[in-house]
Structure 1
Amino acid sequence: MHITLNGEAREIAPASTVADLLAELDLIGKRVAVERNGEIVPRGQHGATVLAEDDALEIVVAVGGG
């Protein structure tokens, strides 16, 4: 299945969830913000949000510092 992730085309397994994608990207447990087709996906919905063909996602990882 084709999606766009942070502006780049990407192939993922059918019926993947946001949580599956985060695991594939090794981002589980990190502070991330996920936007799907222009709408924020709350952290509590990552496991229940199934991705669809041609979804556009933006994932931003929070970086600490000071």
Structure 2
Amino acid sequence: MILIVNGERTETSAATLAVLLDELEFEHRHLAIAVNHEVVPRRAWAEAALKDGDEVEIITPRQGG
């Protein structure tokens, strides 16, 4: 299926957010995720089903000064 991940077209076979994170090699700590502009709580990542065309934003914290 094709997803839009952080604004980029991404082909994946991941059925859930948790699998997508593993596939993209993101550590599961310190992330916020939204699917189609709706924040998905961490506790729901393993069950959050993805479908073709979904827009996924994976946000990681940054420090700066």
TM-score category, normalised to shorter length:
0.7 to 0.9
Question: Structure 2, unaligned stretches of length 5 or more?
Answer: none
2:54 corresponds to which letter in structure 1? Answer: D
Task: Give the paired residue count.
Answer: 65
Q: Which runs of 4+ in 1 moved over 3 A?
A: 63-66
d(CA) in 1 for partners of 2:64, 2:7:
26
When normalised by structure 1's length, the TM-score is 0.86
What is residue 9 of structure 2 aligned with on the other side?
9
What is residue 43 of structure 1 aligned with on the other side?
42
When normalised by structure 2's length, the TM-score is 0.87
Q: Could you say what secondary structure the match of 1:19 adopts? A: helix
How well do the aligned residues superpose, as a CA RMSD in angstroms?
1.6
